[in-house]
Structure 1
Amino acid sequence: MTEAPVRSALLAVLAEILPGLSPAEVTDDKTLDELGADSVDRVEIVTGLVHRLGQDRSIAALADEPDIGRLIARLSEGSAG
C-alpha cells in the first residue's frame, strides 16, 4: 500500500477524534501528542486507522511510533504486524 491512502485515512480519523485540528497541522514530524491527542485519543486514532485500512496490527506496536511520518510509513508497509 502506498502512503497516500494511509495519510487520507489518518486525516479522516483525526477529523473525527480531534475535530478542531486543521489538516495543515498534520505534518510528518509531529507526534499525536503535539496534535493535541491525549492517551485515550491516541488509542482511538490508531485503532480507527487500523480498522479503516483493514489491517490486523498490534495497536501497542503502532503506538510506539515516534511521529506521524513513521506511523504512516509503518502502516504503508503492509498488513503484517
Structure 2
Amino acid sequence: MTREEIFGLLKQHIVRVIPAVSPDRILPSVSLKDLGADSVDRADISTSLKDELGVDIPLVELGKAGDLGGLVDLLYRAQSG
C-alpha cells in the first residue's frame, strides 16, 4: 500500500471517530490533537488503522508521530517490512 493510500485510510478513520472534522482540514502537516482528538480518539484511530493494515506497532510509538504525515510514515514503514 502506498503512503497516499494509507493517508486516505487515515482520513476515513479520523472522520469516523471525529465526525465534526471537515476532511479538507486533514492534512499531513496537522496533528490529531490539532483536529480536536482527545487521547481516547487518538488511540481509537491508531488502533483501528494499524489493525486494518495488519501491522504491529505499539501505540506509544504511534503517539510519537508529530503530525499525520509522520504517522503515515511509521505505518508505511511497518507494513513495508
TM-score with structure 2 setting the length: 0.89
How big is the shift at 1:9? 1.1
Residues in 1 aligned to 2:36 and 2:50: alpha-carbon distance in whole angstroms: 20
Percent of residue pairs bearing the same amino acid type: 33
More helix as a share of residues? 2
Aligned residues: 81
How big is the shift at 1:79? 3.0
Aligned to 1:31: 31
CA contact (8 A) 2:56 2:78 kept: no
What SS class does the counterpart of residue 79 from structure 2 fall into? coil
Runs of 4+, deviation exceeding 2 Å = 78-81
Residues in 2 aligned to 1:79 and 1:3: alpha-carbon distance in whole angstroms: 10
Segments of 5+ residues of structure 1 without an aligned counterpart are none
Aligned to 1:56: 56
CA contact (8 A) 2:57 2:78 kept: no
Is 50-59 or 32-41 further displaced after alignment? 50-59
CA contact (8 A) 1:30 1:68 kept: yes
Give 1:60-79 correspondences, 5 Å limit. 60-79=60-79
**Amino acid in structure 2 at the alignment position of 1:14:** I
How big is the shift at 1:80? 7.7
**Amino acid in structure 2 at the alignment position of 1:75:** L
